[in-house]
Structure 1
Amino acid sequence: MFFWLYYTTADVDYKTRPLVLWLQGGPGASSTGIGNFLEIGPQNLSLGNRTDAWTKEVNVVFVDNPVGTGYSFVEDPKLIPRNNTAIAYDLIKFMSGFFVKVPEFQDVPLYIFSESYGGKMAAQFAVTLQRAIQMKKVRCQLAGVALGDSWISPVDAVLSWGPYLYATSLIDSAGEAKINGKTTEVRNAVAANKMLEATKLWAQAEDLIENVTNGVNFYNILTKRTHNNTTTTTTTSTSSSTANEVNNSIRQEAPDQVLSDYNVHLYNHYVGDVSADLDHLMNGPMREKLKVIPENVTWGGQSKMVFEALSEDFMTSAVKNVELLLNTTNLKVVVYNGQLDLIVSTLGAQKWVEHLHWAGTSHWVNADRRPIEDPSGATGAFSKTFKNFTFYWILNAGHMIPSDAGAMAKKMMQEIVGIKVR
């Protein structure tokens, strides 16, 4: 498992600042690539300095997770996780090794931040890590988990698509009826525990939405998509011969994992598109600078296999893990969502949050929202808190909040980890 640790550049002893662990989505999207260079790391895709880099305030560690993602790799495809539980256990192994390598971080507050499918992984990982800490298997100071535009309740997300698109004038009532019909099929498949069928129907719902909206951008409904999503593609997210060799060898050993058309379609949306811009950087200059990547490993070379392996687990809910965190720990639990995100709309996120089996749910629902100003003085977000749970509504941002609203994302992070916002 490959990780990339940045020590904070704040003018303080780095050990006095929290450690943020960033988990990317997909599944199969690289934290060390996407989260690092496209969202919160010190440099952007052009290797220029990022104004709102989180490293200016906190220590940040990116990990390519699950194994097979980014620079992380497996020699046996059977080791690629097929469910969220296996992902959590692999992350426990990673954290154990990480704290051996940099033991000073054992006494530094740890916050798990996540995005998209990374939030689903983060919720279960936080539960598993808390138990490992209590059993003295891992020594660290877990302080909180933040779930950004997270795939916590897939059914609530999918069922929100029609109403959200209708409310934003991207479809008419006839279009909403068509979408609602298809998303109801998704819900029914999940209720019948037909999880692979549910994933396939989800892909069909996306196709329908693309047709009736003239190609809406699922990441941000007000922006144009930068890449074409097709239902046919090559067998690897990179054109390098090394990656082809790696993927071909895996497919020879595990032919049942060859991507079906609907999984290719979904992969292109949620891993391939956002990874494409990084391919040259990560498989070229960064690979050379790092000097630790094995010769037979290519960044992103196994990521499609990760997506395929988790296809049956894709539509499962992680709400119970969030409830466990709220009911059995004192950890900070945060949900934050971008106003313009369609994949995991705020409408869908609010639905599962407002139905949490937690004694504080009704108190949170009836609490007052607090407006938060952006650097221009305009309202850039709202937040609402009860006890250790907070929800952030981030305005003018889509699925990848730090990319769309960098200053607000950084300000939110500082509030969560307890660093004074200047």
Structure 2
Amino acid sequence: MAPSKTKAALYLLLSLTLVCSSLQINKTEFPKEKVTVNTEGEKWGYVTVRPDAHMFWWLYRSTNPKGSTNVPLVLWLQGGPGGSGTGFGNFQEIGPLDVEQNPRKTTWLTEVNLLFIDNPVGTGYSYVDNDKAYTTDLQQISADLLSILKIVMKVNDDMSTVPFYIFSESYGGKMTAGFSQVLYKAVQSGDIKCNFKGFAMGDSWISPVDSTYSWGPYLYVNSLIDRTQLAQLNKTANKIAELAASGKWVNATAEWSALEDEVEASTAGVNFYNIQQWGGSENSSQMTGRKSLSSYERALLRHVGVLQKDDLAALMNGPIKKKLGCIPAKVMWGAQSGMVFTKQAGDFMKPVSDIVDTLILNSSLKVVVYSGQLDLIVDNLGTEAWVYRLAIADQFSKAKKEVMELQGIPQAFVKVAKNFEYYYILAAGHMVPSDNGPAALMMLKRIVGK
């Protein structure tokens, strides 16, 4: 066997030996009445995707009466970058239990199988053995995701034939776009066995310059800034655009974080994830000395700290770590997330709208965008800016806007043009499933049900 093939085989063997599974929740950890019933089980494990790079995955089989092999599989990718899907996405958005370990009424597990991957490597329970193993761009992230998904599909072979969708949030949407392109090609070439059907990008960082340009106008029309402040925010947004146009991506990222400081100062600290709230973005244990932090360090707290607040961190590093049983003692959930965020500084402000455009035009995938009405960081204004530059823009513009109602009350609007769908979710900010769980569940059913 050639050396490269030998090395690949060794990594595959190591990955398979790191799988650890459970067919039911450990009832000594969680009282019986707080355990999701009728589940066929869970499985989780590690995959060594590269030397010194270990990624964690967690699969929940659906509680749907049809059975887990008769409903789709949804992969959830969290944002940040550095936000944990096994933690935040699972226990604060769509999983069967909340942070207090009570059943979630709007869990997606009733409709689909759920796969959470802590991505990029270093996020959540995923970890690296040295600094060189972190990813620095979308291409590396996508390659790692393909590597881990190959193993997950091998050890859960019955999941490789059910319809497969990727749902995401924030920076997770950017990663989803890049990974979807890589995965689609891998499926077409036979490199992976996966029934890939589509992907959904929620409040996603697809065109960062468009998003930052929109902050001033969005805050202004919502009475959160005056005209003088609007002019100042637009001035900084123009500077970000100039840096991006010059290819000075690290500088553009630094200026983006400075613009966030300006927004906070101008609005008395409006919450970037929901404009009807103030503050609440940081982990309280990280607040000491906040004023002495750099603008970039404060941005890290806003966008990674919010995804691993004290109560969730205590759960993940306590009962859940004990339940899983295969997390190395040296690994603290979320401990490397800050470095994950920092390592992407040169890629953070780069757009991926061209990838979305290509997949709409040249694939059979369902391509979905959804946007929370009250989100600031990726508001609807900024999202529509790049959507209306897509090749399908004219058809999308002419598409009929439908209303989605629950008990006679509008929850969302949706427009569809060929294989492209756009959901405008009402009464929700950046974290749509957390803010409006019923609407998010309705959207899921519509997307995977057709």
Indicate whether the TM-score tops 0.5.
yes
What is the letter of the counterpart of residue 91 of structure 2? F
Number of equivalences? 391
Aligned residue runs from structure 1 range 108-257, under 5 A: 108-228=162-282
Query: Secondary structure of 1:2's partner?
Result: strand
- When residues 228 and 137 of structure 1 are mapped into structure 2, their CA distance, relative to the original with a 3 A threshold, is closer
Cross-structure match for 1:341: 375
The match for 1:52 among 92, 103, 106 is 106
CA distance in 2, matches of 1:377, 1:312: 47
Cross-structure match for 1:300: 334
Does the Cα contact within 8 Å between 2:153 and 2:159 map onto a contact in 1?
Answer: yes
Please state how far the C-alpha of 1:361 moved relative to its aligned partner.
2.1
CA RMSD of aligned residues (A): 1.5
Query: Secondary structure of 1:170's partner?
Result: coil
Cross-structure match for 1:352: 386
Cross-structure match for 2:449: 418
- When residues 301 and 348 of structure 1 are mapped into structure 2, their CA distance, relative to the original with a 3 A threshold, is same
Q: 271-280 vs 22-31, which deviates more?
A: 271-280
Please state how far the C-alpha of 1:263 moved relative to its aligned partner.
2.8
The match for 1:12 among 54, 66, 87 is 66
Q: How many percent identity over aligned positions?
A: 45
Q: Is 1:313 aligned with 2:367?
A: no
- Structure 1 runs (4+) deviating above 6 angstroms are 232-235
Please state how far the C-alpha of 1:233 moved relative to its aligned partner.
6.3
Please state how far the C-alpha of 1:323 moved relative to its aligned partner.
1.1
The match for 1:28 among 61, 82, 86 is 82
Cross-structure match for 2:40: none
Cross-structure match for 1:278: 312
- When residues 233 and 197 of structure 1 are mapped into structure 2, their CA distance, relative to the original with a 3 A threshold, is farther
Q: 265-274 vs 96-105, which deviates more?
A: 265-274
Point out where structure 1 has 5 or more consecutive residues left out of the alignment. Answer: 236-259
Cross-structure match for 2:30: none
What is the letter of the counterpart of residue 203 of structure 1? S
Q: Which digits, 9 at most, give the CA deviation of each residue in 1:3-43, with x for residues without a partner? A: 11111111122100000000000000000000000000000
Q: Which digits, 9 at most, give the CA deviation of each residue in 1:331-379, with x for residues without a partner? A: 00000000000000001001100111x2x320111111001113x4211
Does the Cα contact within 8 Å between 1:263 and 1:311 map onto a contact in 2?
Answer: no
Does the Cα contact within 8 Å between 1:21 and 1:62 map onto a contact in 2?
Answer: yes
Cross-structure match for 2:395: 363
What is the letter of the counterpart of residue 361 of structure 1? A
CA distance in 2, matches of 1:233, 1:320: 38
Higher strand share: 2
Please state how far the C-alpha of 1:97 moved relative to its aligned partner.
0.5
More relative contact order, 1 or 2 (CA 8 Å, 6+ apart): 1
Please state how far the C-alpha of 1:200 moved relative to its aligned partner.
0.8
Point out where structure 2 has 5 or more consecutive residues left out of the alignment. Answer: 1-54
CA distance in 2, matches of 1:321, 1:50: 35
Query: Secondary structure of 2:270's partner?
Result: coil
Q: TM-score, structure 2 length as denominator?
A: 0.85
Please state how far the C-alpha of 1:228 moved relative to its aligned partner.
4.7
Please state how far the C-alpha of 1:100 moved relative to its aligned partner.
0.9
CA distance in 1, matches of 2:131, 2:162: 35
